[in-house]
Amino acid sequence: MRLAFMGTPDFAVPTLEALISAGHDIAAVYTQPPRPAGRGKKDRKSAVHLAAEQAGLEVCTPPSMKDEAAQQAFAALNLDAAVVVAYGQLLPVTVLNAPKFGCLNVHASLLPRWRGAAPIHRAIMAGDTETGVCIMQMEAGLDTGPVICRAVTPIKSVDTTASLHDTLAEQGAALINEALEGFAAGKLVPIAQAEEGVTYARKIEKSEAKIDWSLTADEIDRQVRGLFPFPGAWTDIAGERVKILSGTTYDKTGTPGTSLDDQLLIACGKGAYRVDRAQRAGKGPVKTADLLRGFPVPSGSVIG
């Protein structure tokens, strides 16, 4: 098929690679323009941009697909379909309707649950036991289009956004060629999403990263895992902001936010949470035992 690919972050790269491996004619790759990043604030190309260049594909970086010239250039590609994975722009109807078979989106949730920007984070933080990937025919609404096919994966008690991100990225890549072939041949018919069970995965705000020790230990564990690696859950210890990277829940009780021993077992609203790995500002991630060598937190210390 003659395709355009539209995506930006690491999550989208496996799907692009799957399309290349299948031998599709990829007329153009659309991605977000290079942005200032890093300490030097130099323009940095997206992960998809770099992967497309390495594959010798034409890369387009229009600031907005709402621009009429950008829409005309897209229509002139005479596409069978466009595959969209975390592109980072809302596509106008003229773009969605330009390819023969429209635009297909790889979305990292079991729609209609977790429409929106941060489905992986929200699924973990909400305590969902499963998630997955949907290949959806795009329409004007936010992730409201009918679903062509889906795959389910369990959310394990140790999963983080980082680990689930990689699993779902590969799952989407494994589905996309089957979806394209079946949809174009009429063998896979898009099914409208259910009207009940709709939830929205709003963008993660930095204000959500501070740990509230009055929550249950299970809720805090999900917060830590859901916000790893970015932006990272954190708490105040001895006047210093410390990122909590991983931990373990315990059936212990105490005043929420109080250290129950000298090894960072912290009382929660229900249960307790043992910090296993953490990171002080300006330093690297370490195990708790290494953190405490030069940064003791005695029993009874108030955390938060």
Query: Which residues make up each annotated binding site for (6S)-5,6,7,8-tetrahydrofolate?
Result: 109-112
Annotated binding-site residue numbers: 109-112
Nearest alpha carbon to residue 133 among 163, 164, 157: 164
Residues 6 or more apart whose Cβ sits within 8 Å of residue 190: 136, 137, 145, 146, 147, 148, 183
Q: How far apart are CA 124 and CA 15, in angstroms?
A: 23
Nearest alpha carbon to residue 6 among 118, 81, 86, 97: 86
DSSP annotation string for 82-108: EEEES-SSPPPHHHHTSSTT-EEEEES
Residue 303 near residue 235 (C-beta atoms within 8 A): yes
Residue 93 near residue 103 (C-beta atoms within 8 A): no
Indicate the helix (H) or strand (E) that contains 292.
helix 288-293
Structure-block tokens of residue 90: 């809302």
